[in-house]
Structure 1
Amino acid sequence: MYREWAPGPRIAGRVACLWVNESTSATTQLVVPDGCVDLVWGPRGAQVAGPDTGPKPVRMAPGDRYVGIRFRPGAAGELFGVPLDSLRDLRVPLSDLEPLAELSGLEPLTALLPPEPPTGTAGVRPPGPLSETVQRALAVRLRAAPGPDPAAPAIAEALRAGRSVREVAWDLGVGERQLLRRSLRAFGYGPKTLQRVVRFQRALRLARRGVTAAEVAALSGYADQAHMANEVRRLAGVPLGRLLDRSGGGTA
């Protein structure tokens, strides 16, 4: 079972969500590119899940539990102490990354809280299962490290909206080579790859809402359904329909 919570106020500006993924049976979780980077505590210890460019099948045994912190695209900054593109498609132990080594030994869970507000709280959602100690320690590291490129959200949004790499560079008043360097630092891959990933994620969200395949392709900026089908296979390793059947969430 996969569940998400909103992050606490200390880290909310940089973090998209906190999540827990638990397995009650032997299964394979398919993790697909989303433009994000995660901190993950699981059976293999604490790791950074770098920005992915392809599918990552994760075998889960009964009782396996993963707990994660998912950063907003482009929001990690220089938190890891190494170039973000050096973590691309990798799972790296936190203990190997000096700025985050202290987090590797922390217990991430306090208790698994319910996903819905308890009765009598006037709609206030519980803060989630990630321990206050972990969130506080991460907030300290975020303040100490150089922050994200302030243009990162605009870059991602422009590419998601279908603007070309050349148009995005023009809008920012930079050359395409400078845009490439900034994209590598902010997202871990260049703008062309980022565009493919955010377009894929938009298609996935629309398909999950029941939008027809033809409409999904058009609304997501693909040339046609065949173009979308090829891109989905390249990024997810399976057709869109099968991906929807296997949808769960999380990054392991």
Structure 2
Amino acid sequence: MAKLALGSHREATQSDCIKALVVEFITTFLFVFAGVGSSMAADKYSDGSGLVGLFAVAVTHALVVAVMISAGHISGGHLNPAVTLGLFAGGHITLFRSFLYWIDQLLASSAACFLLNYLTGGMTTPIHSLASGVGYLQGVIWEIILTFSLLFIVYATIVDPKKGSIDGLGPTLTGFVVGANIVAGGAFSGASMNPARSFGPALVSGDWTDHWVYWVGPLIGGGVAGFIYENFFIHQIPCSYSLRGINFLNYDVY
């Protein structure tokens, strides 16, 4: 079983934690700025072809996720509370630091969306909500499965020390699965996979329709994926190993 650690409030004053939080804020901000911006652009230039707009949004998210994970090597480039929870479930980050990351990610998402609202002259910020005919249970299941696949790929291509020939390709492959999931689920649940990505637009627009779905589904999917992969495939790798040279309190994050 993965060893879970609660951590301590003293982590908040450690230099490595402060640096990680700054980097996590920057990368999450840029991720949300590009992701939400692409959704706003798709709405602005919509020519009636929803599939074209969805594909453009998916490609944007795929590219920016891959780049920001790579750029966020100091913090691990989580960008996503569900990813943070998945890594906690695998014993790679303390609970206290996970909460700090969550706060950081939500603040970054909110800042990015407020800035987009200003830069676009008050243009409507599109939120994640369930499509017509998609019920709450269906939406939650969509988000569980999509986020499970995201975290499974994160573990398989970035966290797992036995990743072999795909070493170094993890951020790109993770971006690919995010893009593919948006194409698959975007027309139904919105394919958020990320509570922070959903939080910023909801806050700025003041529209919280179906918002709880984008916390419950991704957190379940991410947590379960992290727990399963760590305990069934990594087989209790000692906490002293280092992933991509990053080590926080002997709990490695990608």
Considering fraction of residues, name the structure with more helix: 2
Larger RCO (CA within 8 A; separation ≥ 6): 2
TM-score (ref. length: structure 1): 0.28
State which structure, 1 or 2, has the greater radius of gyration over its C-alpha atoms.
1
